Amino acid sequence: MGVSLVAQPWWVNLAILVPITTYFWCRRSSIALTATQLITVGLFATAFGFLEATVVVYLRAASSLLPGYQATVADVAQISDQSQAVGLLPPSLLKLEVLREAATMIMLITVALLAPLKPIGRVAVFLWAFAIWDIVYYASLWATTGWPQSIKDEDVLFLIPQPWFAPVWFPLLVSALTLLAILLTRADPAKRHAQS
C-alpha cells in the first residue's frame, strides 16, 4: 500500500510545512506587526488576488480555454480538469503566464520589503500577503466564473519551475494555516510599548 500524495510534483506537498515553520520561527523571534500593518497589507493582497483572478479569466478566454466564451464568463466552470489546461496553452501564452507569475512574486516581495521591519517581519508580511492573495484568488474565480465548483477540483498552482497541481483545498489550507501562524506569533508593537 503506497502513500497517496495530494499535489504534484511530490515536493509541492512540502508547502504544508510553511505555516508550521512560520509558527515556530516567528514564535522564537516575535514579529512586531501592528493591526494597521496587517490590514493594509491584507487590503493590497485582497485587491491583488481579485486582479489576478480576473487576469486568469481573461487569459483563458483569450486562449479559447473558456467554453462558450461568446456567451458568458461563467462558462469557465465547464473546464473540469485544470491539469490538462496547461497543455492546451500555446507556447507564447504559457511563457506570458510564467512571466505574470514571476511578476506576482515580485509585487508581493516588494510589499514585504517596503515594510520597515527586521528580516523575519518582512518574511511574515510576504507570507501574510501571499496567503490572503491566494484565498481571494480562488474566492474571486468562484464568484466571477463559478469555478472551482468544489474545493476538490484540481488546479494548476504555479508553473515555476514546472507545473504544480493540487486540489484547491490544499493551497487554501496552507494559506489559512499560514495566516493563523502569523496571527498567533505576532507581537503588536503598540501593546509591547505600552507594557514597558
Report the alpha-carbon distance of residue 116 to residue 150 in Å, rounded: 40
For 53-94, write each residue's pLDDT tens digit.
878 877 777 766 665 444 344 444 455 566 666 666 567 667
For 83-135, write each residue's pLDDT tens digit.
666 666 567 667 767 777 888 888 888 787 776 678 888 899 999 999 999 99
Per-residue burial over 167-195, b = 16 or more CB atoms within 10 Å of its CB, e = otherwise: bbebbbbbbebbbebbeebbeeeeeeeee
For 5-45, write each residue's pLDDT tens digit.
999 999 999 999 999 999 998 888 778 888 888 888 898 89
The gap from C-alpha 126 to its chain's centroid, in whole angstroms, comes to 11
Contact status, residue 43 vs residue 50, Cβ threshold 8 Å:
no
How is the chain split among helix, strand and coil, in percent rounded to 5?
Answer: 70, 5, 25
Number of domains in the chain: 1
Instruction: Answer whether 0.85 is exceeded by the pTM.
Output: no
Q: What domain range includes position 62?
A: 34-186
Res 189 pLDDT > 80: no
Domain membership of residue 39 (yes or no) is yes
Domain membership of residue 7 (yes or no) is no
Domain membership of residue 161 (yes or no) is yes
Domain membership of residue 196 (yes or no) is no
**pLDDT score recorded for residue 16:** 96
Domain membership of residue 192 (yes or no) is no
**pLDDT score recorded for residue 173:** 98
Report the alpha-carbon distance of residue 52 to residue 39 in Å, rounded: 19
Domain membership of residue 56 (yes or no) is yes
**Strands, E, within 111-187: which ranges?**
154-158, 164-167
Domain membership of residue 95 (yes or no) is yes
Domain membership of residue 134 (yes or no) is yes
Per-residue burial over 141-152, b = 16 or more CB atoms within 10 Å of its CB, e = otherwise: bbebbebbeeee
